[in-house]
A and B are shown apart, each in its own frame.
Chain A
Amino acid sequence: MLSKSEAPALGTTAVRLKNITKRFPGIVANDRVNFEVKAGEIHALLGENGAGKSTLLNILAGLYRPEEGEIFLREEKTTLRGPADAIKKGVGVVYQHFKLVPNQTVAENVALGMRQPRFLLNLKKIENDLTELGQNYNLAVRPATRVGTLSVGEQQRAEILRALYLGATILALDEPTANLTPKETEGLFTAIRRLAEQGYAIIFVSHKLEEVVSLASRATILRGGKAVATLDLKGLPGEKEQIARLMIGREADSQSELELGMLDEVPLEKKAAPIPEVVSAQLTLQVRGLHVKGEVLNSTVKDVSFEVHPGEMVGLVGVAGNGQRELAEALAGLRRAERGDVTLNGADLTNRSARQVHRAGVAFVPEDRLGVGSAAGLNLEDNFLLRDYWRPEYSAGPFLRRKAVREGLGAAIGQYSIAVGDAYAPARLLSGGNLQKLLLARELNSQPKLLIVANPTRGLDINASAYVHNKLRQARDQGAAVLLILEDLDEAFLLCDQLLVMYEGRIMGKLPPVRSAANLENIGLLMAGSSLAATHS
Chain B
Amino acid sequence: MSLRQRAVKELEIQKTLVALPPRQIYPSTAALAVATPVLSVLVALVIAAIILFLSGKDAFFILTEIVHTSFIQNFSETVVKAIPLTLAALGVSLAFRARLWNIGAEGQFYGGVLVATALALGFPGLPAPVIIPLMVAGGLLGGAIWGLLPGLLRAWLDVNEIISSLMLNYVALLLTDYFIFGPWRDPKGFNFPVTATFSDAARLPVLVTNTRIHLGLVFAIIAAALVWLLVSRTKWGFELKVMGDNLKAARYAGINITRNIVIAFLLSGALAGLAGMSEVTGIAGRLQQNLSPGYGYTAIIIAWLARLNPWAIILVAVLFGGLVSSGFTMQRVGVSSGLVTLLQGIVLFCVLGGESLYRRLLYQAALRRSNQGSNQGPDQLKDKES
> A416-424, A509-517, A524-532: which one contacts chain B?
A416-424
Interface string of B1-27 (1 = CB under 8 A from A): 011001100000110111111011000
Q: What residues of chain A have their CB less than 8 Å away from a CB belonging to chain B?
A: 25-27, 253, 255, 274, 276, 332-334, 353-355, 358, 364, 366, 368, 371-378, 382, 385-387, 389-390, 395, 398-400, 402, 406-407, 409-411, 413-415, 417-426, 429-431, 434, 466-467, 470, 474, 477-479
Residues of A within 8 A of B19 (CB): 410
Contact of A378 among B245, B367, B383 (CB under 8 A): B245
Give the residue name and chain of the B residue nearest to A376 (CB).
Answer: B246
Residues of B within 8 A of A373 (CB): 249, 252
Assess the A419–B14 pair: CB atoms within 8 A: no
B122 within 8 Å of A (CB atoms): no
Assess the B383–A467 pair: CB atoms within 8 A: yes
Assess the A386–B249 pair: CB atoms within 8 A: yes
B225 within 8 Å of A (CB atoms): no
Give the residue name and chain of the A residue nearest to B370 (CB).
Answer: A421
Q: List 11 A-B contacts (CB under 8 A).
A: A26-B368, A333-B254, A366-B252, A371-B246, A398-B234, A410-B17, A419-B373, A420-B373, A424-B23, A426-B363, A479-B3
Interface residues on B, range: 35 or more
- Least CB distance from B357 to A in Å reads 15
Contact of A474 among B6, B14, B235 (CB under 8 A): B6
Report how far A422 CA is from B373 CA in the complex, Å: 7
Contact of A414 among B16, B23, B236, B368 (CB under 8 A): B16
Further 17 A-B residue pairs, CB within 8 A, beyond A375-B242, A411-B17, A478-B3: A26-B371, A353-B254, A358-B254, A368-B248, A371-B246, A376-B246, A378-B245, A382-B241, A390-B254, A415-B13, A415-B17, A420-B370, A420-B373, A421-B369, A422-B24, A423-B20, A425-B366
Assess the B16–A354 pair: CB atoms within 8 A: no
Question: Most chain-B CB neighbours within 10 Å: which of A26, A387, A410?
Answer: A26
Given A26-B371, A426-B366, A431-B374, is A395 in contact with B251 using a C-beta cutoff of 8 Å?
no
Given A354-B251, A371-B246, A467-B383, is A27 in contact with B236 using a C-beta cutoff of 8 Å?
no
Question: Most chain-A CB neighbours within 10 Å: which of B3, B254, B367, B368?
Answer: B254
B64 within 8 Å of A (CB atoms): no
- Least CB distance from B348 to A in Å reads 23
Assess the B368–A274 pair: CB atoms within 8 A: no
- Least CB distance from B237 to A in Å reads 8
Assess the B233–A413 pair: CB atoms within 8 A: no
Assess the A470–B235 pair: CB atoms within 8 A: no
Report how far A354 CA is from B19 CA in the complex, Å: 32
Residues of B within 8 A of A390 (CB): 235, 254
Residues of B within 8 A of A333 (CB): 254
Summarize B's interface: helix, strand, loop or mixed.
Answer: helix
Report how far A27 CA is from B256 CA in the complex, Å: 40
Assess the A421–B254 pair: CB atoms within 8 A: no
Contact of A274 among B2, B245, B370, B386 (CB under 8 A): B2
Assess the A26–B249 pair: CB atoms within 8 A: no
Assess the A414–B242 pair: CB atoms within 8 A: no
Assess the B242–A378 pair: CB atoms within 8 A: yes
Report how far A26 CA is from B235 CA in the complex, Å: 35
Contact of B238 among A374, A382, A419 (CB under 8 A): A382
Q: Which of B316-355 contact A (CB under 8 A)?
A: none
- Least CB distance from A260 to B in Å reads 16
Assess the A354–B378 pair: CB atoms within 8 A: no
Residues of A within 8 A of B241 (CB): 375, 378, 382
B209 within 8 Å of A (CB atoms): no
Given A382-B241, A422-B370, is A417 in contact with B378 using a C-beta cutoff of 8 Å?
yes
Assess the B364–A25 pair: CB atoms within 8 A: yes
Assess the A414–B385 pair: CB atoms within 8 A: no
- Least CB distance from B7 to A in Å reads 8
B253 within 8 Å of A (CB atoms): yes
Assess the A406–B20 pair: CB atoms within 8 A: yes
Report how far A27 CA is from B368 CA in the complex, Å: 9
- Least CB distance from B179 to A in Å reads 38
Residues of A within 8 A of B236 (CB): 398
Give the residue name and chain of the A residue nearest to B248 (CB).
Answer: A372
- Least CB distance from A402 to B in Å reads 8
Nearest first, the 8 A-B pairs at minimum CB distance are: A421-B373, A355-B254, A26-B371, A421-B370, A410-B20, A419-B378, A414-B17, A375-B245
Assess the A399–B249 pair: CB atoms within 8 A: no
Summarize A's interface: helix, strand, loop or mixed.
Answer: loop
Residues of A within 8 A of B366 (CB): 422, 425-426, 429
- Least CB distance from A142 to B in Å reads 35
Residues of B within 8 A of A253 (CB): 386
Residues of A within 8 A of B253 (CB): 354, 375, 386-387, 389
Given A274-B2, A467-B383, is A429 in contact with B367 using a C-beta cutoff of 8 Å?
yes
Residues of B within 8 A of A400 (CB): 233-235, 238
Assess the B252–A387 pair: CB atoms within 8 A: yes
- Least CB distance from B358 to A in Å reads 14
Report how far A474 CA is from B242 CA in the complex, Å: 30
Report how far A378 CA is from B250 CA in the complex, Å: 12
Assess the B251–A334 pair: CB atoms within 8 A: yes
Give the residue name and chain of the B residue nearest to A256 (CB).
Answer: B386
- Least CB distance from A27 to B in Å reads 6
Interface string of B267-306 (1 = CB under 8 A from A): 0000000000000000000000000000000000000000
Contact of B20 among A364, A366, A407 (CB under 8 A): A407
Contact of A399 among B20, B233, B251 (CB under 8 A): B233
B73 within 8 Å of A (CB atoms): no
Assess the B369–A422 pair: CB atoms within 8 A: yes
Assess the B386–A255 pair: CB atoms within 8 A: yes
Report how far A332 CA is from B253 CA in the complex, Å: 11
Residues of B within 8 A of A276 (CB): 3
Given A419-B373, A420-B373, A474-B6, is A382 in contact with B242 using a C-beta cutoff of 8 Å?
yes
Residues of A within 8 A of B246 (CB): 371-372, 374-377
Residues of B within 8 A of A410 (CB): 17-20
- Least CB distance from A65 to B in Å reads 20
Residues of A within 8 A of B250 (CB): 375
Give the residue name and chain of the B residue nearest to A430 (CB).
Answer: B370
Given A378-B241, A399-B234, A421-B371, is A411 in contact with B14 using a C-beta cutoff of 8 Å?
yes
Assess the B252–A372 pair: CB atoms within 8 A: yes
B182 within 8 Å of A (CB atoms): no
Assess the A377–B245 pair: CB atoms within 8 A: yes
Report how far A55 CA is from B91 CA in the complex, Å: 45
B124 within 8 Å of A (CB atoms): no
Residues of A within 8 A of B238 (CB): 382, 385, 389, 400
Give the residue name and chain of the A residue nearest to B377 (CB).
Answer: A419
Give the residue name and chain of the B residue nearest to A431 (CB).
Answer: B374
Report how far A354 CA is from B249 CA in the complex, Å: 11
B34 within 8 Å of A (CB atoms): no
Report how far A27 CA is from B16 CA in the complex, Å: 32
Report how far A466 CA is from B386 CA in the complex, Å: 10
Assess the B374–A419 pair: CB atoms within 8 A: yes
Assess the B249–A375 pair: CB atoms within 8 A: yes
